[in-house]
Structure 1
Amino acid sequence: MALVDTGAAVSIMSAAFKARLGRKVTFLLEKAITFCGVGGNSLCPIGVCTAAVLLSDQVFVTEFTVLPRSTHDIILGIDFLRMCGATVDCRNGEVIISDAVPHGLIENSGTESGALRVYEDTVIPAFCAVRVPVASSHINDNKTSFDALVEPFHLSCIKKNTLVPHSIVSVSEGRSDLWTTNYSNEPVLLPGGLKLASFKEYSPTTVAVLSDVRRDEQVTACSDSSKVLPMVDKALTADKRRMLVDVLLKYLQVFDFSQSDHTPSIPPFRIRHRINTQTAQPIRQKPYRVSPSERKIIDNQVREMLQKGIIQESSSPWAAPVILVKKKDGTWRFCVDYRRLNSITKKDVYPLPRIDDALDCLHSASYFSSIDLRSGYWQIPMHPADKEKTAFITPDGLYEFNVMPFGLCNAPATFERFMDTILRGLKWNVCMCYLDDIVIFGRTFREHNERVDIVLECIRNAGLVLNSKKCHFGERQTLVLGHLVNKDGIRPDPSKTAAVKACKPPRSTKELRSFLGLCSYFRRFIPAFADVAFPLTSLLRQGTSFEWTHDCETSFNQLKFLLTSQPILRHFDPSAPTEVHTDASGIGIGAVLVQRHSGKEHVIAYASRTLSKPERNYTVTEQECLALVFAVQRFRSYLYGRPFQVVTDHHSLCWLVSLRDPSGRLARWALRLQEYDFTVSYKSGRKHADADCLSRMPLTTTLCDADNFDHLIASVTPVFPDKTTFENEQRKDVSLEPLFAEARASTMAGRFCVREGLLYKRTFSATGSRFLLVVPHTLRS
């Protein structure tokens, strides 16, 4: 039995029924084509076949899409009903065929139909319609030009995700143009020779109906649904997915489906970013030296930003240099070094939300949706008076930003103020907003959908554009600020303690000593620590062989459990002093996020990973710096926008943040650290057992951190003595006078040398720096 379905865009035939008919199937050899079912599920067709349908004593030849399984043998879709000019009588449950010549059928005028084929290779951009040149071998001997009625060739349209409307075109000497629409989200190539449509010459009396508005609307609706479906959680039922899709379809314009350059227009009423440098004189830096190939890359990126309106040419007295940072995929990231500008900028103390407040509002919620702004900072314009302060210099010119650039220290405050303005009255009640993290929540699915509707309306009213690839709707659990949230409650992200939980039993006395060093570091929080650790500490006694027993295994597992539970692993307290302890060894890097309560240290999270083979060839300083970058990225949700202290056992790390003209990986790391407000302090290795253990017993997987420069935002303030102070302390240290004398008298191969007034010791170790700074006694720990 056949089903008449006005909601089906194409007519369907089941594979089983096709086999009984013995029809030949034209297989779809192009990439897989999928259709959207009534429940939102994907339907993958086998191919297309042609069959004759007898209806009201009339025979209609139509194309059917063949599916592996179908609820009915035949489903007559809206394409067939329009072709035969059918009228659906809902009251009487009848399908009426008009006596008039139906749409898509042409009276026999005595002329033979011809095919219109693509004349030359043509590319149609995503979601665009273009005039495609076509040609036909069918030429009327009596006319060089004539009008023709076009009938789309549905097989080509389905395979290429295109739409050719029924239309009248003028054919001149066998050539014409056809409007062709690409309704997919990627460009489509129509190769020369592809049959796009068929046509017949006609007179005005041979056409009954030409309007096809409904068909276009049907295809558009199906295309729009396919855009938003990937953002909806697949775990939802078909009915719930359809309900959520209906909400999202109302706000298609807020997503970046049609934003080819992802640079939306900015309404004139939007908040503008200010840079308050008070009475400071303009800072004008010289451009960093670059190679010819890097110069070409800078020029291309500047030209692209000029075309998008992100920047403009400048005559500013300010100038900051540009650094190119190579990403993992081999492409280059254009970055501006605003560190000196940030150092003289008056800080904006607009409050960032407390993490515990943000998480508290999510209690008892069962459904979550997270949305992400497309290039959020670039959606906030610069104040006209402060554009000149964003000026950057390249080898070929001076430019300034029209929008808020990455790397400015007050950008987080401006962004948070902006989001609070557009979501006023909704924050904490309808949604949670922490900088660019917006989470919509609801106790029931209906409440959740209503809140999604409200928030997206605010986003649309503000003229913002969302990143469709990073928006997720209708999820039952979500990761927010380092915590996993679902209807059962809020718990820490399991990855926080994975570094300790995944520790394997020590295989040597050295590894055991390192693990016990971590445990001893927090032993004051472990009840009866000596008793619990006794089987392990016994192995460290002189003359005892290393033999791993069942008691050792029990002690090891119990200590791991105690290290990852209360009171050792505390919740983050935004009001408490925060420290990040980092360390690197020859095999891995480790980090511990620590806060102080009543003078005592409490762990918030652990992190570690092994070094990759190339990373093991880094110098000691580079490995220590890598550990710092890894730590602040892993703990970003806790550290971003708040001051904190980095504790290291490597002196050279204290100088990293004040490097001038950095290059290579140091440039990438220094720029990544711009977004954090921290100080660096030194602690000897013997007092640094927590991070040291994690670096020597890291997770076995190597997790390479991604080059994500979406937020390069804040200032860095080292507490290491400045160069003048250090030089004075060296000169006052009596014990260093013989070394200064040796440096002045020695040749290029001497042990000591003086560079820019500072005393260094030469070293030719392959794993260390070539010059080691000599630390005076007054500055030693």
Structure 2
Amino acid sequence: MRSAACDAAVSVLASQPNTETQPAGAFESRSTAATDRIAVALEEEEEQSFDALAVGAHSEQNIDKLMCEFRRLLTQSVRLRGRVANPPPEQLSDAACWTCGKGGHYRRSCPLANAERPRHPPNIATNRVRTLCNKTQGVVLSVNTKWAAELAGKVNGRSVRFLVDTGAAVSVIRESEVNMAGNVRISRHGSRQIVAANGECLETVGTAELDIKLGDKFLARHSMIVARNLSHPCLLGTDFLRPRKALIDLGDGRIKLDGIWLNLESPHTPNDRNQREAEQECDICLLETVTLPARTEVIVTGKSNANWTTKDGFFEPAPKLVTNHSVMAACSLSRTHRGTVPVRLLNGTDTPITLFKDTKLGTYSTTYSTESTRKTVEAPNAESTRKYSELIENMAKLSHDVPHTIRRRLRTLLWKYKQIIATDEYNTGRTNACKHSINTGDASPIKQPPRRIPYHQKETVRRMLSEMTNHKVIEPSCGPWSSPIVLVKKKDGSYRFCVDYRKLNLCTKKDAQPLPKIEETLETLSGATWFSTLDMASGYWQVEVADEDKEKSAFATPFGLYQFRVMPFGLCNAPATFQRLMETVLCGLHWTTCMVYLDDIIVFSKDAAEHLEKLEEVFSRLQGAGLKIKPSKCHLFQKRVKYLGHVVSRDGVQPDPEKIKAVEQWPSPKCGKELQQFLGLASYYRRFVKGFAQIAEPLHRLTEKGKLWNWTDECDKAFLHLKARLTKQPVLTDPDFKIPFLVDTDASGDGLGAVLSQDIAGKEGVIAYASRTLSKTERKYCATRREMLALVWALKQFRCFLYGRKFTVRTDHGSLTWLRNFKEPEGQVARWLQQLGEFDFEVIYRPGRKHQNADALSRGSCKQCGQHIPTSCTTIDSIALSNQRWQPSPIWPAWTPAQLEMEQQKDPDIARICRWVATKTLPGRCPTGSSRTLQSLLLQKDQLMVKDGILLRRRMANAEHKADHQLVVPQTLRQDILQCLHSGPEGGHLGKKKTLWKIRQRFYWPDLSEDVADWCRKCPECNQRKSGNKHHRGQLEPQIAPYPMSRIGVDIIGPFQRTERGNKYILTVQDYFSKWPEAYPIPDMTASTVARTLVNEFICRYGAPESLRTNSVRHASNIPWE
């Protein structure tokens, strides 16, 4: 918008008659008046339009209007200035100079005026900008201040900097400082009107009685006026200084109050040399040639001729930049960086403009500005700009159905709010919206000693502590609280720094912050088309810990005690604090623009343009709160996303297929054991299935004793019917967040299983199923570690339902009930315990017969081949339940070549080898990650052949057999072969060697000998009828002690903690006849020490025994008894 003075000047120009028809004198007077008015108009126009153009350069419509007016005004002013600057000679004869009084020239051309004019005119614009900046803050206490007298002190115990102002009649304090001081009552009756130095009235709140401490000694209580938007935290006026006989010594920088000298502080201009340097001024020229595209705004780099490294100052553009190049520059407060200054240039024309190197852009003068008025434009960093460019480009990679204009606007939006994008692990925001409190009530401080760290990990701990200290994540502590640390090794070989807060969480009062209802959240998302999910970058580290509770987060290390400045992971109330923070930051946008559930943010809309506007609203709130997002986990402008265990799209909200995948992909049973597992799961929820007995009757018939395995179409129909009923209501229900959740977990030697459910009206309704097989390494875990792995994995799968809520975990492994009492965990267990520490749950035990829902899922079939994986060990219970395995079988199963080929193709390893052999494309080496079966077959690739589509193995002739071919048996047929050739009529329950010899005559598969040995060892008939080798042992004879002390027993207990007398072990002696015991402390367990103690303490008192027996004193044979 044009200023009023500019409009008046344009109207004057418009009303000027044609100069060719006017007398010279009339033209001179009119032109002089018009020139003066235009000069004033241009100054005001530069101040208003430059900033307006710089801010609104993104709006093409505003540029058109502004440039139209600017070109018209510029053309008229240039023509008029040219005519006035070079008047005709006949006009100069009557001219008179107002400076020297001589004729023949005007004041602007006077030599005397030019000689007396200073080389650098006073920087009026600098003072004007300071005044304007201060006005935006609401109060101007001093303008163009070169030296500020400040005092460091405290108000009600809170550190504050006081400005000593002898020109102020009253003492004033900022309202925010009073609020943060706490326990201060503001009196509303004592408020009065105050006029600031700029003539404006301050908005006062009232008065407050405050305790003021200056330095280490001076204490006073004074009534101060509380005002809003004060440019300085606290101002001491004459009402405070006069009663205390203030004496200010500016030469030494001291002030005397009530006879006490205090040092004045001025952080900006410490000496006269810096004062003179602060008043320097230099020209700013273009560092390198640049081309400004049409209708664009660009920040370029200018260079100065002064030797400044880092100086705050004011840049003022050169007027010729507009007249000569049609380029406008913005007045700005900025900071030099190695002699360079950022300058904002605007090309508002329709054509590109090139500015060459060393073009003068303006002048730069160092200035002093108070903290409230400092607003610098820092020079762009090439490295950070390149990093932001890569991150923004990755975030802006959208699907093809997003309009091109939306993509371009999204990039612009991301660049505008680039400050909310985290560039690395430690580049996290810090919010002041809330702080985390650790409420332990009256609990005594918990002090745990540091745990021993291996020597090779100490340098890693030192480095991680240094990094976190440098990034202001932690700080040294001297409080009474202490928790141990644990280093957990990641998959890439690096370490994760963890703190064990289990004991701290036990004495922490739980936060009852309510969480949004998931069903209401999902209903709100219905009908939307576009979705964007945002993830916070190290969300917990963006929240600071309350000052009074920082010491409770302390942890002990070999290098000292440290405490967290930000909210650490592992605290029980951390989820509630983060939920409260997000609801506070996004207040007003929740339920309409976005949905927030803990650290999950989803923005939704029906239109792409509307979605962009909503994203900007969310970005603006996050930036205002100082929060940052992790770009790699943010997905923008999606039409289908996973949110809170559901799939959300334009078609509505649907259950996540992963919830029922474990049951839907359950393969048809291939043996009685697999059928027993499925029936165990189905029977657990049979009360939800109407007519369960009739539906499952064909399956139960197969489990009868003595029944041959025959999977018919009727069985398959019943199996599919039960699967469908298990994955639909009423078995599978929607979660009710008013009712606690139940998590059932189980682990077997093959896999993991879990069920999430709720007890609704006395019946357990399933929310979700989950299962997976164990890796080769996980199969080697002990039973307790496998069960713990199942618990950690299950909570991770159901995290969206369980996070931030109390729930119950049920397991058939009793050791997990003592999970929270695990002492000094290390490595993997420590990492698991840290993950479990985020949840609030109780572990209860129930027997395996009541735990069949999770047990069946943990013993599912292999995902690769779809078949059952034999367990590494079988208990007596499993043998009794799976007796179908050893049922009578036919003499020999009749397999056709087509059946053999089909079964081999079902086996992924054999099918792969068969394809390679048939096409003669066998690889030279085994592919990475191949199974053991595939590796074993590839080592014998020269012995493999394919005949009629069936893979065979050539067996070389030797002394025991001739050359022949063996069938490579797939996984599904191995059980039948073992059944026939060991338990069938052809087998006769022979031993391991004979059974193996018979099978090798016609069949082969990797690990054949191990499978045969395992089968024979677990055969019920062999165990019942074969007694095995009998070892004849002699009869036991009683050991007779005829009288007391004739036969004694000796043993040693220890080691114990060394006593003051140096003893560490206890030597015990007992008589076999009377059972009389005695014990003696000894320093060591050497033969001489034991013999000396026995002789001096026992034999000298009771006499020598006939015999002495011991089973643990290894040095007894070396005792010199003779």
TM-score bin, normalised by smaller chain: 0.5 to 0.7
Structure 2 letter corresponding to 1:690: N
Rounded to whole Å, the distance in 2 between the matches of 1:364 and 1:208 is 53
Helix, strand or coil for the counterpart of 1:546? Answer: coil
Give 1 or 2 for the bigger CA radius of gyration: 2
User: Match of 2:402?
Assistant: 237
| 1:499 and 1:699 in contact (8 A); partners too | no
Helix, strand or coil for the counterpart of 1:496? Answer: helix
User: Match of 2:91?
Assistant: none
* Equivalent in 517, 534, 558 of residue 371 of structure 1: 534
Structure 2 vs 1, CA of residues 632 and 218 (structure 1 numbering), >3 Å: closer, same or farther?
closer
| 2:289 and 2:356 in contact (8 A); partners too | no
| 2:753 and 2:771 in contact (8 A); partners too | yes
User: Runs of 5+ in structure 2 lacking a partner?
Assistant: 1-286, 291-299, 306-353, 362-379, 866-1048, 1053-1122
Asked if residue 324 in structure 1 is aligned to residue 518 in structure 2, the reply is no
| 1:276 and 1:346 in contact (8 A); partners too | yes
User: Match of 1:389?
Assistant: 552
Q: How far apart are 1:261 and its partner, in Å?
A: 5.0
Structure 2 letter corresponding to 1:370: T
| 1:609 and 1:701 in contact (8 A); partners too | no
* Equivalent in 626, 641, 645 of residue 789 of structure 2: 626
Deviations 1:107-130 (A, max 9, x none): xxxxxxxxxxxxxxxxxxxxxxxx
Helix, strand or coil for the counterpart of 2:734? Answer: coil
Asked if residue 510 in structure 1 is aligned to residue 673 in structure 2, the reply is yes
Q: How far apart are 1:168 and its partner, in Å?
A: 11
User: Match of 1:435?
Assistant: 598
User: Match of 1:250?
Assistant: 416
- Within a 5 Å distance, the mapping from 1:160-179 to structure 2 comes to none
| 1:482 and 1:493 in contact (8 A); partners too | yes
| 1:368 and 1:442 in contact (8 A); partners too | yes
Rounded to whole Å, the distance in 1 between the matches of 2:518 and 2:288 is 62
TM-score by length of 1: 0.61
Q: How far apart are 1:567 and its partner, in Å?
A: 1.1
* Equivalent in 742, 750, 768 of residue 587 of structure 1: 750
| 1:483 and 1:493 in contact (8 A); partners too | yes
User: Match of 2:859?
Assistant: 696
Q: How far apart are 1:212 and its partner, in Å?
A: 10
Deviations 1:144-164 (A, max 9, x none): xxxxx9999xxxxxxxxxxxx
Deviations 1:494-536 (A, max 9, x none): 1111111111111110110010110011011112212222221
Helix, strand or coil for the counterpart of 2:464? Answer: helix
Identity of aligned residues (%): 45
Structure 2 vs 1, CA of residues 498 and 210 (structure 1 numbering), >3 Å: closer, same or farther?
same
Higher relative contact order (CA 8 A, sep 6+): 1
Rounded to whole Å, the distance in 2 between the matches of 1:602 and 1:514 is 20
Deviations 1:205-242 (A, max 9, x none): xx98227999x999999996654232243243342322
User: Match of 1:74?
Assistant: none
User: Match of 1:117?
Assistant: none
Deviations 1:291-344 (A, max 9, x none): 112222222111110111100111111100001112222221101111111111
- Within a 5 Å distance, the mapping from 1:606-755 to structure 2 comes to 606-697=769-860, 700=863
Asked if residue 597 in structure 1 is aligned to residue 760 in structure 2, the reply is yes
Asked if residue 262 in structure 1 is aligned to residue 434 in structure 2, the reply is no
Rounded to whole Å, the distance in 1 between the matches of 2:816 and 2:572 is 22
| 1:262 and 1:374 in contact (8 A); partners too | no
Structure 1 letter corresponding to 2:357: L
Structure 1 letter corresponding to 2:518: I
Structure 1 letter corresponding to 2:410: L
Deviations 1:23-76 (A, max 9, x none): xxxxxxxxxxxxxxxxxxxxxxxxxxxxxxxxxxxxxxxxxxxxxxxxxxxxxx
* Equivalent in 181, 200, 209 of residue 356 of structure 2: 209
| 1:347 and 1:409 in contact (8 A); partners too | yes
Rounded to whole Å, the distance in 1 between the matches of 2:384 and 2:429 is 25
Structure 2 vs 1, CA of residues 300 and 446 (structure 1 numbering), >3 Å: closer, same or farther?
same
Q: 1 or 2, which has the higher helix percentage?
A: 2
Deviations 1:618-661 (A, max 9, x none): 11111111111111111111111111111111111111222111
Helix, strand or coil for the counterpart of 1:583? Answer: strand
| 1:578 and 1:595 in contact (8 A); partners too | yes
Helix, strand or coil for the counterpart of 1:572? Answer: coil
Rounded to whole Å, the distance in 2 between the matches of 1:355 and 1:317 is 41
Structure 2 vs 1, CA of residues 211 and 220 (structure 1 numbering), >3 Å: closer, same or farther?
farther
Q: How far apart are 1:452 and its partner, in Å?
A: 0.8
| 1:263 and 1:378 in contact (8 A); partners too | no
Helix, strand or coil for the counterpart of 1:371? Answer: strand
Rounded to whole Å, the distance in 2 between the matches of 1:222 and 1:306 is 27
* Equivalent in 286, 297, 301 of residue 460 of structure 2: 297
| 1:593 and 1:606 in contact (8 A); partners too | yes
Q: How far apart are 1:266 and its partner, in Å?
A: 2.8
Q: How far apart are 1:666 and its partner, in Å?
A: 1.9
| 1:150 and 1:169 in contact (8 A); partners too | no
Q: How far apart are 1:420 and its partner, in Å?
A: 0.8
Structure 2 vs 1, CA of residues 399 and 558 (structure 1 numbering), >3 Å: closer, same or farther?
same
Helix, strand or coil for the counterpart of 2:710? Answer: coil
Q: How far apart are 1:347 and its partner, in Å?
A: 1.3
Q: How far apart are 1:483 and its partner, in Å?
A: 0.6
Asked if residue 557 in structure 1 is aligned to residue 720 in structure 2, the reply is yes
Q: How far apart are 1:355 and its partner, in Å?
A: 1.3
* Equivalent in 687, 710, 734 of residue 547 of structure 1: 710
- Within a 5 Å distance, the mapping from 1:320-469 to structure 2 comes to 320-469=483-632
| 1:326 and 1:333 in contact (8 A); partners too | yes
Structure 2 vs 1, CA of residues 323 and 471 (structure 1 numbering), >3 Å: closer, same or farther?
same
TM-score by length of 2: 0.43
Rounded to whole Å, the distance in 1 between the matches of 2:674 and 2:662 is 15
Q: How far apart are 1:664 and its partner, in Å?
A: 2.9
Helix, strand or coil for the counterpart of 2:478? Answer: coil
- Within a 5 Å distance, the mapping from 1:308-319 to structure 2 comes to 308-319=471-482
User: Match of 1:573?
Assistant: 736
Helix, strand or coil for the counterpart of 2:735? Answer: coil
| 1:350 and 1:413 in contact (8 A); partners too | yes
| 1:287 and 1:322 in contact (8 A); partners too | yes
Rounded to whole Å, the distance in 2 between the matches of 1:270 and 1:389 is 21
Rounded to whole Å, the distance in 2 between the matches of 1:560 and 1:379 is 46
| 2:593 and 2:604 in contact (8 A); partners too | yes
Would you identify which runs of 4 or more consecutive aligned residues in structure 1 move more than 6 Å? Answer: 149-152, 165-170, 211-214, 216-225, 745-748
Deviations 1:666-689 (A, max 9, x none): 222222111111111111111111
Deviations 1:149-192 (A, max 9, x none): 9999xxxxxxxxxxxx999999xxxxxxxxxxxxxxxxxxxxxx
User: Match of 2:1086?
Assistant: none
- Within a 5 Å distance, the mapping from 1:190-229 to structure 2 comes to 209-210=356-357, 227-229=391-393
Deviations 1:84-134 (A, max 9, x none): xxxxxxxxxxxxxxxxxxxxxxxxxxxxxxxxxxxxxxxxxxxxxxxxxxx
Structure 1 letter corresponding to 2:548: A
| 2:433 and 2:585 in contact (8 A); partners too | no
Rounded to whole Å, the distance in 2 between the matches of 1:150 and 1:442 is 46
Rounded to whole Å, the distance in 1 between the matches of 2:793 and 2:518 is 21
Rounded to whole Å, the distance in 1 between the matches of 2:795 and 2:381 is 50
Q: How far apart are 1:412 and its partner, in Å?
A: 1.0
| 2:289 and 2:355 in contact (8 A); partners too | no
| 2:429 and 2:628 in contact (8 A); partners too | no
